[in-house]
Amino acid sequence: MAHFTKATSLHDWLNQRLAIDTLRRVLATEYWIPKNINFLWAMGMVLAITFGLLLISGIFLLMYYQPNVNLAFDSVNYTIMQEVGYGWLWRHVHGVAASVVFLVIYIHMFTGIYYGSYKNGREIIWLSGMLLFVAFSAEAFSGYMLPWGQMSYWAGMVITNLFSGGSLHADGLVEWIRGDYVPAQAFLNRFFMLHVLLIPLVILGLIGLHFGALRIPHVNNQDGEEIDFDAEAKKYLSGDKAGSKVIRFANDFMSKDMMVVGIYLIFFFYLVFYHYDFAMDPVNFDPANGLKTPTHIYPEWYFLWSYEILRPFSTNVGLIAFAFAQVIFFMLPFLDRSPNAVPASRRGLFKYWFWAMLIDMIILTAMGKVPPEGLFSTIGLYAALTFIGLWIALPFITKFEKKV
């Protein structure tokens, strides 16, 4: 049985029961971060802040949103936007955050690829991060259904049709997901539950896993230097802070994080007040109508690259290519056969692979927004083939990479 003594303060009382000093030491004051990192390492904190903004704004929107096919559209576009005091502000915050969070995710993801932050025992960090990407994607898609506008309805129709499996004709699975033959009340109910309860809980759990996975291998650094964290921590604690190669997570590294977060929030609220329209598709300001198909159906910008991989091919081939695109990033730690965990600029052919992949995904994103006609269709096809080819080539170009 644990031994408790008379507490001398509230802190002491809590510490005897919750070990808050140990928790703070393990997760903050003795969690060591390399000094030689740049502002890109703050993207994790920026993501956490953005997720917090999504939660807070979502709670306020939830107070007035009506998950009913006859009321949802008006509850968003009339009640929240016009009747509720500052309802427009909370919707703008939520819409902009839902879009910007993916910009930060992609920056965070490609920073990890560039610096090899998925290697040398950091595989769980990468895998948990990719699971977070999938969870945020599911959260964004489920939220996109809730305004029940034209693009909400038809995006839901198109995406759920993917589960039919092309020539497999798994129509029963599609109907099971929708709860009906077409998106209707059961469909809205299910995606409302996923958006406000189930997926946020999954995201919170994955954030804990992602942060916990950093604890043993520690974060990588921009030079790819192998650091003896125990030795450098002893040097820091003995008073040689200038000579040590590490700093505390709290409050040394956090102060740097907060500076980047402050700059980010200026950019974020500039978008909220002056350019929020980029996060709201004009087609979605028309009520859902199952009898009127929009001229051009497309997802939000952060899904366009994978949508364009699906689109140029026949149904079955397109579904295979789309499935390939969804899972291949998970395989990166195992496809990269190089022993080097250093910046891509020092990795021979991988340097060209990285920039080719980044440029190709930008091209895919641009082509996914335009109708698949003429030159655009040809560019989209070659960009999709290039994406697949780059991943097939990765094990071969990294296998013979020299140790740096």
Write the pLDDT tens digit of every residue in 110-125.
999 999 999 989 999 9
Round to whole Å and give the CA distance between 313 and 307: 11
pLDDT for residue 28 = 80
Please report the pLDDT score of residue 192 as a whole number. Answer: 97
Tell which wins on pLDDT, 120 or 384. 384
Percent of the chain with pLDDT over 70: 100
The closest of 190, 165, 166 to 176, measured between CA atoms, is 190
Question: Looking at residue 1, what is its pLDDT?
Answer: 56
* CATH topology (fold) of 298-403: Helix Hairpins (1.10.287)
Please state, in angstroms and rounded to a whole number, the distance separating the CA atoms of residues 274 and 252.
Answer: 34
Question: How far is the C-alpha of 389 from the C-alpha of 365, rounded, in Å?
Answer: 17
Nearest-10 Cα torsion for 288, 292, 297, 302: 0
User: Where in 72-193 does DSSP place strands (E)?
Assistant: none
Domain range summary for the chain, segments of one domain joined by +:
16-293, 298-403
pLDDT tens-digit map of 301-313: 999 999 999 999 9
Summarised one tens digit per residue, pLDDT across range 160-204 is 999 998 888 899 999 999 999 999 999 999 999 999 999 999 999
Task: Name the percent of the chain lying above pLDDT 90.
Answer: 79
DSSP letter assigned to residue 403:
P
pLDDT beyond 60 at 208: yes
**Residue 297 pLDDT grade (very low, low, confident, very high; cuts 50, 70, 90):** confident
For residue range 250-292, what is the model confidence (pLDDT) as tens digits?
Answer: 888 888 899 999 999 999 999 999 999 989 889 999 999 999 9
> Which is it for the CA torsion 166, 169, 170, 174, positive or negative?
positive
Phi-psi region of 224 (alpha: psi -120 to 50; beta: other; left: phi over 0): left
- The owner of tokens 């904190």 is 45
- The answer to whether the CB of 141 falls within 8 A of the CB of 159 is yes
Q: Is 336 left (phi over 0), alpha (psi -120 to 50) or beta?
A: beta
- Can you identify the CATH homologous superfamily of domain 16-293? Cytochrome Bc1 Complex; Chain C (1.20.810.10)
d(CA 79, CA 72): 10
- Residue 324: the pLDDT is 96
Residue 81, both tokens: 């936007």
Over residues 147-154, the mean pLDDT reads 95
- The C-alpha atoms of residue 129 and residue 134 are separated, in whole angstroms, by 9
Mean confidence (pLDDT) of the chain: 93
Q: CA 99, 60, 93 angle in degrees (round to 5)?
A: 25
pLDDT tens-digit readout, 312-339: 999 999 999 999 999 999 999 999 999 9
173 CB burial (10 A radius; 0-12, 13-18, 19+): middle
Whether residue 31 is predicted with pLDDT greater than 90 in this model: the reply is no
